[in-house]
């Protein structure tokens, strides 16, 4: 105990900080607690990675695997050095009953733990700590609705047909080879439609992921939210209804909520992001979040730092806009939209140029009805970051033509009456409404894109998604983003088609470019289909070995040739 008092004295003396590091929300919480009662806190270190410099370095790497491994190794080294002295103090406090459940977090150079008031007050005097804040916050999505299906659907669900996912499968892309991280309430990995789609975590993680909230290896879902989201990402349709946009992808479950009361905390969210990145995910789905306010800037800061580092690692974060659109009077602009969806996207949209700022890995998803009308619950932008001193970008002032905040969401997807998997029934389905069920549609679409080119950077993915959307407004909009996603248009806009090599076929298309028509000659051809670059079907010709394509307007098109051995895709240009 004497050693501990000497260490605390050091905190109060040689490490004295002139600025208060204990967040106001934590000070308020401490006033409600007894002296020996432990409070869940997050400790964010003063030293943080320069994510912009990391990104400049990793942009020179050829593969996303290289980017991810470099960033993980760099962040671990930084955190190990920066946290060593503090961890020594926390461990001593833990031995004396002042601290419990210490969780080092290299993804944002932070530490989560439970601490009593004496410990917190000592931490607040250290000059190596940026902030200590109350971590027991509600990240579970609000205002979502479920519907009982009157009869089980069969075939492909409406939301998948709306975004043309089925047409992408015809091209040979199902998300194969892509590992998706899913941060949620877990998933019923015994559902028939998830069989063969779950991550093999070996003997260390035998249940296809990890429960970071309770620190065990079983991310089973007892609430239903996560299983429904998982089904929209990669449900196979084995039980009769095709719900998954990317039925060939692999899903890693990262459970970040409690089983009974939907409790969540900031430490669990960040630790879940850390687990997913360390174990090799290529994209993560976060159908969770909380609307921002001035009192929540520490939470915003640690989430954005994590998402900035994800960008450097080459991994996209898909997050929801939230479901507070109908409650804008209670949660006014610029705090109506949820974090992490409120973080900047990887690609700087031209409409944002007049009020530019930094980038992160987050593609924010709003929700639309099946007819593309804005879903009233879907939260509204803009958001802002001038309230977080570490960033101070995207300022917002009501009515200003220059300080118009950060335009969000980025894209939208069907989120009304979405049919997906029932966690209570391994062959059952249920329907839900909310942005939580729009986001996995985008995540699945990204998996389709990555199955075509696994080394697409987050910026490339974001630009393709936003520029191939079905435009619902003239400019990027704070309700609908850049528009409703079109999976077919997005996949077709991705570079050279790897399917050509896999079937070893060739096609002769001449002249190309052409001022009139095109002649297509391909051994074994059964059908030729022409799509515009935004994914619209222009012509379909059934032919054996040869056909002519005429009547196209000037422009660039994608020609898909079905053969007896597979599919070929190439660009054609009408002058």
Decide if pLDDT at 292 tops 80.
Answer: no
Residue listed under structure tokens 């969210």? 269
pLDDT of residue 571: 77
Cβ contact 481:466 at 8 Å: yes
For residue 152, name the pLDDT band (cuts at 50, 70, 90): low
- Residue intervals of the chain classified under CATH 2.60.40.1930 are 503-574
The radius of gyration of the chain's CA atoms, rounded to the nearest angstrom, is: 25
pLDDT tens sequence across 359-409 = 999 999 999 999 999 999 999 999 999 999 899 999 999 999 999 999 999
Cβ contact 358:477 at 8 Å: no
Query: Average pLDDT of the chain?
Result: 90
Mean pLDDT of 349-359: 96
Residue listed under structure tokens 């007896």? 564
pLDDT of residue 372: 96
pLDDT tens sequence across 412-421 = 999 999 999 9
Cβ contact 466:365 at 8 Å: no
For residue 15, name the pLDDT band (cuts at 50, 70, 90): very low
Cβ contact 529:492 at 8 Å: no
For residue 504, name the pLDDT band (cuts at 50, 70, 90): very low
For residue 236, name the pLDDT band (cuts at 50, 70, 90): very high
Decide if pLDDT at 275 tops 60.
Answer: yes
pLDDT of residue 6: 42
Specify which residues 548 forms β-bridges with. Answer: 519
pLDDT tens sequence across 40-98 = 999 999 999 999 999 999 999 999 999 999 999 999 999 999 999 999 999 999 999 99
Mean pLDDT of 321-343: 94
- Residue intervals of the chain classified under CATH 3.40.50.200 are 145-492
pLDDT of residue 13: 41
Decide if pLDDT at 198 tops 60.
Answer: yes
For residue 8, name the pLDDT band (cuts at 50, 70, 90): very low
pLDDT tens sequence across 183-192 = 999 999 999 9
Decide if pLDDT at 454 tops 50.
Answer: yes
Q: How far, in whole angstroms, is CA 55 from its chain's centroid? A: 18
pLDDT of residue 367: 98
Mean pLDDT of 352-365: 97
pLDDT of residue 138: 80
Smallest CA-to-CA distance from 385 within 348, 346, 354, 357 is with 357
DSSP state string for 311-368: HHTT-EEEEE--S-GGGTTTS-TTSSSEETTTSPPSS--GGGGGG-----SEEEEEEE
pLDDT of residue 149: 61
pLDDT tens sequence across 83-139 = 999 999 999 999 999 999 999 999 999 999 999 999 999 999 999 999 999 998 888
Mean pLDDT of 333-339: 95
Mean pLDDT of 257-275: 91
Mean pLDDT of 271-295: 90
pLDDT tens sequence across 516-573 = 899 999 888 998 888 876 567 889 999 888 999 999 998 878 888 888 777 777 778 8
Element (H, E) at 111: strand 110-115
For residue 296, name the pLDDT band (cuts at 50, 70, 90): confident
- Which superfamily does 145-492 belong to? Peptidase S8/S53 domain (3.40.50.200)
What's 357-423 look like in SS3? CCCCCEEEEEEECCCCCECCCCCCCCECECCCCCCCECCECCCCCCCECECCCCEEEECCCEEEECC
1.10.443.10, 3.40.250.10, 2.60.40.1930, 3.10.450.350: which CATH number matches 503-574? 2.60.40.1930
Is residue 298 left, alpha or beta, with left meaning phi > 0 and alpha meaning psi from -120 to 50? Answer: alpha
**pTM of this prediction?**
0.85
């Amino acid at each position: 105990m004497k050693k501990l008092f000497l260490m605390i004295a050091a905190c109060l003396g040689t490490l004295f900080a002139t600025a208060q590091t204990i967040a106001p929300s934590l000070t308020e919480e401490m006033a409600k607690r007894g002296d020996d009662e432990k409070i869940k806190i997050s400790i964010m270190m003063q030293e943080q990675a320069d994510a912009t410099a990391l990104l400049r370095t990793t942009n020179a790497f050829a593969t996303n695997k290289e980017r991810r491994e470099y960033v993980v190794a760099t962040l671990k080294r930084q955190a190990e050095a920066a946290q060593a002295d503090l961890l020594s103090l926390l461990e001593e406090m833990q031995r004396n009953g002042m601290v419990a459940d210490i969780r080092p977090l290299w993804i944002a150079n932070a530490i989560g733990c439970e601490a009593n008031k004496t410990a917190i007050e000592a931490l607040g005097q250290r000059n190596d700590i940026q902030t200590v804040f109350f971590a027991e916050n509600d990240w579970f999505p609000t205002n979502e609705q479920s519907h009982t299906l009157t009869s089980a659907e069969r075939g492909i669900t409406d939301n998948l047909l709306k975004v043309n996912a089925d047409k992408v499968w015809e091209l040979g892309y199902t998300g194969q080879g892509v590992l998706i991280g899913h941060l949620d309430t877990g998933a019923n990995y015994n559902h028939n439609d998830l069989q063969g789609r779950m991550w093999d975590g070996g003997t260390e993680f035998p249940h296809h992921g990890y429960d970071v909230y309770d620190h065990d290896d079983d991310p089973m879902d007892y609430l239903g939210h996560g299983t429904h989201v998982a089904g929209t990402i990669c449900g196979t349709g084995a039980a009769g209804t095709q719900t998954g946009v990317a039925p060939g992808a692999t899903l890693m479950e990262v459970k970040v909520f409690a089983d009974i009361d939907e409790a969540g905390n900031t430490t669990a969210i960040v630790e879940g992001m850390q687990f997913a990145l360390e174990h090799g995910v290529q994209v993560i789905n976060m159908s969770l979040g909380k609307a921002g306010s001035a009192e929540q800037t520490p939470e915003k800061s640690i989430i954005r730092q994590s998402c900035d580092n994800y960008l450097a690692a080459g991994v996209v974060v898909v997050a929801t806009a939230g479901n507070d659109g109908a409650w804008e009077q209670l949660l006014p602009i610029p705090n109506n939209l949820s974090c992490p969806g409120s973080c900047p996207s990887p690609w700087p949209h031209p409409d944002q140029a007049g009020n530019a700022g930094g980038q992160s890995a987050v593609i924010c998803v709003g929700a639309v009805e099946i007819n593309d009308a804005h879903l009233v619950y879907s939260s509204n932008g803009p958001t802002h970051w001038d309230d977080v001193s570490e960033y101070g970008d995207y300022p917002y002032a009501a009515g200003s033509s220059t300080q118009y905040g950060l335009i969000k969401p980025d894209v939208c997807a069907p989120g009304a009456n979405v049919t997906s998997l029932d966690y209570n029934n391994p062959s059952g389905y249920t329907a839900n409404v909310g942005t939580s069920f729009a986001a996995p549609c985008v995540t699945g679409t990204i998996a389709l894109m990555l199955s075509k080119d696994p080394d697409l950077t987050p910026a490339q993915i974001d630009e393709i998604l936003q520029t191939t959307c079905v435009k619902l407004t003239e400019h990027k909009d704070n309700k609908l983003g850049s528009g409703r996603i079109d999976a077919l248009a997005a996949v077709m806009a991705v570079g050279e088609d790897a399917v050509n090599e896999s079937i070893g076929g060739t096609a002769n298309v001449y002249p190309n470019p052409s001022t009139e028509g095109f002649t297509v000659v391909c051994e074994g051809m059964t059908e030729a289909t022409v799509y515009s670059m935004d994914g619209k079907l222009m012509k379909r010709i059934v032919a054996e070995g040869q056909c002519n394509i005429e009547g196209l307007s000037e422009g660039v098109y994608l020609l898909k040739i079905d053969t007896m051995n597979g599919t070929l895709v190439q660009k054609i240009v009408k002058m």
